[in-house]
Amino acid sequence: MDAQSNAPVIIIKRKKIIAGGGHHGGAWKVAYADFVTAMMAFFMLMWLLNATTESQRKGIADYFSPSIPLARVSGGGDGAFGGDSVFTEETLARNGTGAATFAAAMQEGSSGHSSEDSDALSEVESMLSGGGGESLVMDNAMKHIMTRVTDEGLIVELFDLESAALFEVGTATPTPLLNEISKMMVVAFSIVKNEVAVSGHIRSQPIVLADNPVWDLSSARADTLRKLLEGDGFDSQRFQRVTGYADRKPVASNPMALRNNRIELTLLRSDK
């Protein structure tokens, strides 16, 4: 009995050895696949931003968001992180409405306008923005054109860029670019019979002038475009009004921004 109690206790440990290092699971493969997919999407986005125009990007964006939005006007503050536009400081995101947004607005029952009139205006908008396929205007002119829909009708904005202006500086003399755009507008507007309103807008001057030219210049530029359109074959009886708004209705947060130099052509809704 004493010999047995003094015997050492033998403990045997058994280790489970897996040949080849075992299986480490496949979670890393899923994470790696997600990473590769994200990088591919990123490089595709970078390529699209570099290879397309503003109107084409707008059309692509509308393709992925065809439903009626809560608000057709996007926000945007001033400064580097405010974001007037994700593409350029000269074109405001809140001014753009693509073909899908336009169609959604046309279908809203509160407007009370005929579907025929809405369809006609939508066709003009698609021709100018490329929402229905190939754009009517060439690339250099397209950069100066933006469309949006309001209760009054379809507004086509023609605006200055740093690289090219629609008028000679400080005058109502049209540049060859504006002459080219005028001919395009006549072709686009010929598919409808709606009346047209022309309004001129000028950016604010950096200093207070005793004789501020913005009122006379905005009116003169609007009337110049009217004359160009008539000279290119547009029916003069379709003009309802020609107005100069000076610097009172800027579209950029900075009232002296070049983007505020623009002419707005409005295809007015028909009451019929």
At residue 250 the predicted structure's pLDDT band, cuts being 50, 70 and 90, is very high
Nearby residues of 240 by Cβ (< 8 Å), 6 or more positions away: 195, 196, 197, 268
Q: For residues 201 and 222, give the distance between their C-alpha atoms in angstroms, rounded to a whole number.
A: 8
Q: Quote the pLDDT of residue 143.
A: 86
Domains and CATH numbers, the chain: 29-268 (3.30.1330.60)
- Using only C-alpha atoms, the chain has a radius of gyration, in whole angstroms, of 31
Phi/psi for 79 (5° steps) reads 100, 180
Mean pLDDT value across residues 23-34: 79
What mean pLDDT value characterizes the chain?
A: 77
CB burial of 54-67 (b: ≥16 within 10 Å; e: otherwise) equals: bbbbbbeebeeeee
Q: Quote the pLDDT of residue 48.
A: 77
Q: Is the pLDDT of residue 59 over 90?
A: no
Question: With 0-12 CB in 10 A as exposed, 13-18 as middle and 19+ as buried, what is 160?
Answer: buried
Q: For residues 222 and 214, give the distance between their C-alpha atoms in angstroms, rounded to a whole number.
A: 12
Q: Quote the pLDDT of residue 25.
A: 63
Q: For 81, which DSSP code?
A: T
Q: Is the pLDDT of residue 267 over 90?
A: yes
Phi/psi for 155 (5° steps) reads -100, 130
Q: Is the pLDDT of residue 99 over 80?
A: no
Q: Is the pLDDT of residue 168 over 50?
A: yes
Q: Quote the pLDDT of residue 182.
A: 94
